[in-house]
Structure 1
C-alpha cells in the first residue's frame, strides 16, 4: 500500500507512542485502573468457573453415552473413558448447573465484560483516574453496552470473512480491517454512536494514521503474549484467580492505550480540520 493510504498529510506529526504508553501505564496504575482490573478479574473468575463447568458437563454426558451405547470391553473405549475421567478430575472449581443455564451465564458475563470496558473507555478518555464517577459510568450504559456487543460481533465476522477470502494474501487485508475498526468501542462509549456509525467513524479516524495504529497493535500483541504466557503456566487455585487477574490487566491496559490513542488522534484531526478552514 502507498504511503498516502497510511499517512495523513494534513497532520504535522503522529502521536508519540512512547507518551501514549506512559499515559496508559498511569491509567492502569490509578485507582480507576485498579477498579477496572478488579471488576474484570471477578468476571473472569466467574467465566472460568462456568466454562469449566460446561466442559465437565459435556465430558460427563459423553461418558454416559459411551457407557450406554459402546462396547466398553474394547481397549479404545476403555482408554477414552479413562481420559475423560481424568479430565473431569483435573477440572478446577465447577458448579452443578445445566448446559443451557451455563451457556446463558457465559453470554451474560460476556455482555458484562463489554459494559466494564465501555465504562473504562469513558473514564480513561475523560482522565478520571481517582475512581470511576457513577454518573459517567451509568450514562446510557445499557444501550452503549448493547451497541458495543453488536459491534464486536460484526467486527469479528468481518475479520473472519476477510481472512477466509484472502488467506492467500497472508491475512494482510484482515489486518487492514482490524486496524480500521480498532476505535469502534471508543466511538460508541465516548461519542454515543451506534454500531454502524462507530464503524464508519473509526475507519475515518484511522485513515491516514495506520502506521501509528499498526505500532499500537504490535504493542497490544506483545502485552497480550506477555500476560498470556505466565497465565498459561498457572494451575490449581493460583490459576483460578491468577489467570483472570492477568487477563484483566491485559484488557485494562489495552483499553487505556487504545483510548489514549483515540483521544489524541481525534484532537489532532479536529485541529487539522480547523487549520484547513
Structure 2
C-alpha cells in the first residue's frame, strides 16, 4: 500500500498539464470544436427556455392557488402576490406548454446533450479536428448516449451520498470519488463500455494518477467558475443566448481537456486487462 492515501504508485511519466491545456484550446478552436459548441449552444438555449417556462408555470399555479385560497386582504399575502407577479413578468423567453410536456422536453434535451458530448469525446480522442465524421458520430450513438446518461446519474448519486455521509471531512472523500470517475464518459464513448464497466475502468485508469487529475479538476473548476460569473452578468434574452453559448464553450473545452488526459493515460495503460480497443 502506498504511503500516500490519496495516490498509488504509478508510472514515472507524468501528465503535462500545460500541453493538455494547449491541446484542449486547439480542439476548442477547431472546426470540430465550433460544431460541438454550436450544437450545445442550440440545445442549451432550448433547455433554458423550457426550464424558464416550467418555472413560470409553477409560479402561475402558485399565484392561482394563493388567490383562490388565501386571504388577499392580508398585507403579507398581497406582498406574496406582488412578488410572484413580478417574477413572472421578469421571465425571459418562454413557451406555453404544460408542466409534464416541459419535463419530458427537458429530459430529452439532457439526453441529447449527453449524445453531443459522446460525439465530442470520440472526435477529440481521434484527433478529428476538421469536422466530426458522420460515421464516428453515429456509431452506436443512441446506446452510448443512454449509457452516458445513466452513468452521469450514478455518478451524481455517488458523489451526493458520499458528500452527505462525510461532510465533516470537508468533502475530501467526495472529491476522491469525483476524480476517480472523471473518465467515465470517455470509457463509454471510446471503449464502448456500459455504465458499470465504465465506472470501473475510469477508477482503474485514475489509480496512481490522482494528484495529476486533481490539478486537472482544479482547472475545470476555475474555467467553469469563470464562465458562470460571465453568464451571471447577462440578463433577459441576451442572458439566455449568451449564457447558453458560454456554457457550450465551457462544456466543449472541459470535454476536450478531459479527453486529452484520457488518451494519454490510456496510452500508458494499454496492458490493462479490462482495456477495450479504442475507435
Q: TM-score, normalised by structure 1?
A: 0.96
TM-superposition CA deviations, 1:42-82 (whole Å, max 9, x none): 00000000001001100110111011111000000000000
Report the counterpart of residue 104 of structure 2 in structure 1. Answer: 104
Measured in 2, the distance between the counterparts of 1:272 and 1:144 equals 22
TM-superposition CA deviations, 1:138-177 (whole Å, max 9, x none): 0000000000000000000000011111111111111000
> Which ranges in structure 2 are unaligned for 5 or more consecutive residues?
274-279
Report the counterpart of residue 28 of structure 2 in structure 1. Answer: 28
Report the counterpart of residue 241 of structure 1 in structure 2. Answer: 241
- Residue 269 of structure 1: CA displacement? 2.0
Report the counterpart of residue 77 of structure 2 in structure 1. Answer: 77
1:58 pairs with 2:78: no
> Which ranges in structure 1 are unaligned for 5 or more consecutive residues?
none
Measured in 2, the distance between the counterparts of 1:65 and 1:226 equals 40
TM-superposition CA deviations, 1:4-62 (whole Å, max 9, x none): 751434x1221101000000000000000000000000000000000010011001101
Measured in 2, the distance between the counterparts of 1:271 and 1:57 equals 54
Measured in 2, the distance between the counterparts of 1:248 and 1:78 equals 41
Report the counterpart of residue 7 of structure 2 in structure 1. Answer: 6
Measured in 2, the distance between the counterparts of 1:264 and 1:178 equals 19
TM-superposition CA deviations, 1:69-126 (whole Å, max 9, x none): 1100000000000000000000001000000000000000000000000000000000
Measured in 2, the distance between the counterparts of 1:270 and 1:98 equals 51
1:269 pairs with 2:265: no
Report the counterpart of residue 204 of structure 1 in structure 2. Answer: 204
- Residue 240 of structure 1: CA displacement? 1.6
Alignment of 1:124-163 (within 5 A): 124-163=124-163
Measured in 2, the distance between the counterparts of 1:249 and 1:272 equals 33
Is contact 2:6–2:211 with CA below 8 Å preserved after alignment?
A: no
Runs of 4+ in structure 1 over 4 Å off = none
Matched residues, number: 272
Give the direction of change, closer, same or farther, for the CA distance of 1:101–1:153 in structure 2 (3 Å limit): same
- Residue 3 of structure 1: CA displacement? 3.1
Q: Partner of 1:6: helix, strand, or coil?
A: coil
Measured in 2, the distance between the counterparts of 1:40 and 1:197 equals 27
Q: TM-score, normalised by structure 2?
A: 0.95
